[in-house]
Structure 1
Amino acid sequence: MPTRNSAARSIGSAMVAGLARLRSPFARGAARRRNQDEFFAELLRQLARMTEEVRRANLIQEYRIAMEQMDRTMDDPSLADARSTLGGISEAKRRQMIFANRQYASLLLSYRIGTFDWRELLGHLRILCRNSLFAEYWDRTGEHRRSLPADSVERRVGEAVDTIMEELADDPDEWWVVGHLGEPPCP
């Protein structure tokens, strides 16, 4: 019997060793797959960051083009008629309205590219809304904002300005606390 047990042990040991050898490539394969998965996950994160940077660069470029057009309309009154939809105002008032639009657009861009967070944007808007020329611009351009998609950032920021304007009308002495709105729109 001792020979039989030692033979069985030899066979058992050989089988265990054989199974270990069989598992070894699978274990290495699993580790290799894990490494590949980690590599691809990191690659996707980097691609997402690059995509966001390209989106921000495009926003900045679009803003730059719009501001160049506004500058040209402010410099050349004959172009202002083509750019502005506000009727019945003097050339000087039109320039002021274009400049007010430019100030608002600058704040909106700063929020959209991440320079300001929602609270900082509201703080800047509270100050801007205290300006009577901006308030007039905002009132005259209400119809423009109604055409924006309900889920757009610009529409949501416009609604925040509307709230600030309403609260300022109710209590102008408390200007620094008006416009406390909930969740910010995604830039």
Structure 2
Amino acid sequence: MPGRLTRGFALATENPDERRIGSAVGDGPQDELLKSLLRQLTSLTEEIRNANRIQLHRIMAEQTGRALADPALAEAMSTLQGLSEARRRQVLFVNAQYSAIMLNHQLGAIDWNELIGHLRVWCVNGVFQQYWEMTGDHRKSLPRDSLEARVGRAVDFMLDELAEGAEEWWVVGTPDTDPSG
């Protein structure tokens, strides 16, 4: 048995790649290699999560498209009561746009201030205002520290300021829109 180990060691050290690996292991950069692999795995996991978000958004967008084209599907898709066919389709469209803006933020395509900026533009839209009012109960069930809940509080704040006629409602980054909650 000792002869095999010696022979195997001699063969391993004759290969320059194996010598580098052996010396790296011997020098202690295993931790760095493991950290690098962990960073790569974390990055890959995030890429997969984002790909799944995009796919789910695509599925919902396709379903919303079908609902916008067919009033019977629009009625089946909507949880909101007492809307005309035209208003229901408008609200479904606003919801799809809101979801797309949120997805852009979740994917890192836009930062918090850009997210709030996009939503500020929507706040002046009457259909969006009605949609937001009608979906308030939906947001009450969200965990307080979730992105949706923080965005909800920021939009509520902007709509309140807009309703009061405050000129500052347009300013991005008010303390009440802090992303940390």
Question: Which TM bucket (shorter chain)?
Answer: 0.7 to 0.9
Matched AA of 1:118: W
TM-score (normalizing by structure 1): 0.78
Alpha carbons of 1:110 and 1:126: their partners in 2 closer, same or farther (altered >3 Å)? same
Match of 1:58 among 49, 52, 55: 52
Structure 2: 5+ residue runs without aligned partners?
1-21
Tell me how far 1:108 sits from its aligned partner.
0.6
- 1:151-170 deviation per Cα after TM superposition (whole angstroms, max 9, x unaligned): 22112111111111111112
Tell me how far 1:175 sits from its aligned partner.
3.8
Match of 1:72 among 62, 66, 74: 66
Q: Pairwise mapping of residues 1-187 of structure 1 onto structure 2 (< 5 A)? A: 32=26, 34-171=28-165, 173-177=167-171, 180=174, 181=176, 183-185=178-180
Partners in 2 of 1:185 and 1:60 — Cα distance? 24
Partners in 2 of 1:179 and 1:71 — Cα distance? 33
Q: Check whether the contact 1:129–1:135 (CA below 8 A) recurs between aligned residues.
A: yes
Partners in 2 of 1:76 and 1:101 — Cα distance? 17
Matched AA of 1:114: G
Q: Check whether the contact 1:164–1:178 (CA below 8 A) recurs between aligned residues.
A: no
Higher Cα radius of gyration: 1
Partners in 2 of 1:59 and 1:117 — Cα distance? 17
Tell me how far 1:66 sits from its aligned partner.
0.9
Work out the percentage of aligned pairs sharing the same amino acid: 52
Query: SS at the partner of 1:148?
Result: coil
Q: Check whether the contact 2:123–2:158 (CA below 8 A) recurs between aligned residues.
A: yes
- Aligned pairs, number: 159
- 1:95-119 deviation per Cα after TM superposition (whole angstroms, max 9, x unaligned): 0000111111111111111001101
Q: Which runs of 4+ in 1 moved over 6 A?
A: 28-31
Partners in 2 of 1:115 and 1:163 — Cα distance? 24
TM-score (normalizing by structure 2): 0.80
Alpha carbons of 1:37 and 1:178: their partners in 2 closer, same or farther (altered >3 Å)? closer
Which segment drifts farther, 39-48 or 164-173? Answer: 164-173
Q: Check whether the contact 1:167–1:179 (CA below 8 A) recurs between aligned residues.
A: no
Matched AA of 1:123: G
Supply the RMSD in Å over aligned alpha carbons: 2.1
